Amino acid sequence: MVEAARHAAQVRSTDAIRGQFPALERRQGGFSVAYFDGPGGTQVPRSVAEAMSDYLLHHNANRHWAFATSAETDQAVENARAALADFLNATPHEVVFGANMTTLTFHLSRALGRHWQAGDEVVVTELDHHANIAPWQALARERGITLRIVRMIPETGQLDWNDFERQVNGKTRLVAVAAASNALGAINDIRRAAGIAHRARAWLLVDAVHYAPHELTDVRAMDCEFLVCSAYKFYGPHVGVLFGKLDLLQTIDFPKLAPAPDIAPERAETGTQNHEGIVGAGAAVDFMASLAAGSTRRERLSAVLEEFEKRGQRLVRKLWEGLAGIPKVKLFGPPPEAPRTPTVSFTIQGVSPEEAARKLGEQGLFLSHGDFYAKTVVERLGLAPQGLIRAGCACYTTEDEVRRLIEAVRKLA
Ligand SMILES: Cc1ncc(COP(=O)(O)O)c(C=O)c1O
């Protein structure tokens, strides 16, 4: 108890964190804005925007040339790689930058597909965002591979692990699964997925886009070959990140230009990168690390993400219990005591998700609605095409904002 309190005290308070986000000063219709749209993209702290503007205004150049700003750009990208490596528990050579998770996953699937043929299989899940389905589906069309889809359990929003075991077999080349569902908040047991994939000698790709802002991501502990995430979900700009095990990044036949560098990780990157975005992604990691003490960046990140998880659990319990007490509200996904992120999706009887989101938005409560590209989830819940309303808590979400949201939903219902 004392240890937990000491640990929590080391991480800056939600109030102190909020002071770093100018967006939180915004008002809408006379109300201060509460951003519950984090699963679609979080707000950005001042330090991230400043790092990006400093890069653009003072160091902007293309890479690998012999003058100062080019060398500074090389250094800035390498610094960001080191930051992201600490964030994922990888090495900098294993960190690939790209436009976003979707583009990186299509790029990886195209590269892997060059080695595959009819008879090879890829396993995806119904719970996933389509960015982790469509790239593999494309290989079914282009390379004749077979796509197998693990079922979700609609009642709990969790994966059907018996089906998972059934779908993976000796022909499986890759298992692609999310660490957490962006639609329902369910956290999947990635170690278990890795065990199943590796027993079949298949590779594991983890979509950590929704997981990374809420839990400490550890590619070694997850035992995955690949992992993808997006900086704009963890307080950074719109940049995607791919982790790949070094030997794979060194040997996979990525589509690339002959004159471009052929060493990992650059051989997996295409064209001129978004340097300012990459700088911002590194600054987002440094922002999180700056919220706690510790002798290394990874140690500080570990303390912060552990505390984010605890704060998220408190918020999700309040949100879930508050919404569950409203007769016309139906909640989806796992209950607060199950492994989950602080993302709660629901419907209100008689009010469409879009209408609800619009009315809440007028009161400064910003929530997303629809299928969030987790289209199969919404279909399996029988909610297509209107989908769900989604309330996502982030590191700047307060209990007061959660109370405000519950009261507003109660009035709407
Ligand atoms: C779980 C999950 N996977 C993948 C994506 C796609 O990420 P990106 O927008 O970086 O392509 C998202 C975006 O919302 C997501 O939530």
Q: What is the DSSP string of 357-403?
A: HHHHHHTTEE-EEE-TT-HHHHHHTT-TTT-EEEEE--TT--HHHHH
Task: Give the model confidence (pLDDT) of 349-377 as tens digits.
Answer: 999 999 999 999 999 999 999 999 999 99
Kind of pairing between the strands at 343-348 and 365-366:
unpaired
Mutational pocket test of ligand 1: of 182, 206, 390, the residue with most ligand atoms within 8 Å of the beta carbon: 182
pLDDT tens profile 323-352: 999 999 999 999 999 999 999 999 999 999
Q: What is the pLDDT of residues 1-58, one digit of tens each?
A: 444 445 555 899 999 999 999 999 999 999 999 999 999 999 999 999 999 999 999 9
Q: How far is the CA of 104 from the centre of ligand 1 (A)?
A: 11
Alpha carbon distance 359, 302 (integer Å): 38
CA pair distance 239, 43, nearest whole angstrom: 14
* pLDDT tier, 314 (very low <50, low <70, confident <90, very high otherwise): very high
For the chain, the average pLDDT equals 97
For range 96-110, the mean pLDDT: 98
Spacing, Cα 258 to ligand 1 middle (Å): 30
Q: Determine the pLDDT at residue 8.
A: 52
**Nearest CA residue ID for atom 7, ligand 1:** 101
- How far does residue 101's CA lie from ligand 1's centre (Å)? 6
Domain with CATH 3.90.1150.10 in the chain: 2-44+305-412
Q: In the chain, which residues fall in CATH 3.40.640.10?
A: 50-289
Residue 148 has pLDDT above 90, yes or no: yes
- The pLDDT score that the predictor gives to residue 7 is 52
Radius of gyration (Cα) for the chain, nearest Å? Answer: 21
Match domain 50-289 to its CATH number in 3.30.413.10, 3.40.640.10, 3.40.1190.20, 2.102.10.10. 3.40.640.10
Supply angle C-alpha 276, 279, 280, rounded to 5.
85
Per DSSP, the residues of 250-297 read: HHS-----TTS--STTGGG--SS--HHHHHHHHHHHHHHHTTS--SSH
Q: What's the 372 CA to ligand 1 centre distance in angstroms?
A: 9
Q: Which residues line ligand 1 (CB under 6 A)?
A: 100-102, 129, 131-132, 178, 182, 207, 209-210, 230, 240
User: Looking at the domain that runs over 2-44+305-412, which CATH code has it been given?
Assistant: 3.90.1150.10
